[in-house]
Amino acid sequence: MPVLLVVHHSPTTIMRSLTDAVLGGASDDALEGVEVVVRPALEATAADVLGADGIVLGTPANFGYM
């Protein structure tokens, strides 16, 4: 099963809204056979990245951790 990794840092209302929209779309019932893995930026590991078939990064413009 393909894995979509969503790595985010969502400290503001706007970033949280964008993250929620991505997760809502990625978790839509119309998409079958895709596992969505969600990790806060500081908790994502190399194993998460290497195990993903697709990656979505969400962060404010000046966030150095990403």
**3-8: strand order across its sheet:** 35-40, 3-8, 54-58
Q: What 3-state class would DSSP assign to 56?
A: strand
For 16, how many CA atoms within 13 A lie in the half-sphere containing its CB?
A: 3
Name residue, tokens 């078939």: 53
pLDDT at 17: 95
pTM attached to this predicted model: 0.85
CA–CA–CA angle 32, 34, 39 (5° rounding): 140
Which pLDDT score, from 0 to 100, does residue 10 have? 86
pLDDT at 11: 86
Which has the closest alpha carbon to 5: 48, 47, 41? 48
Which stretches of the chain score pLDDT less than 50? none
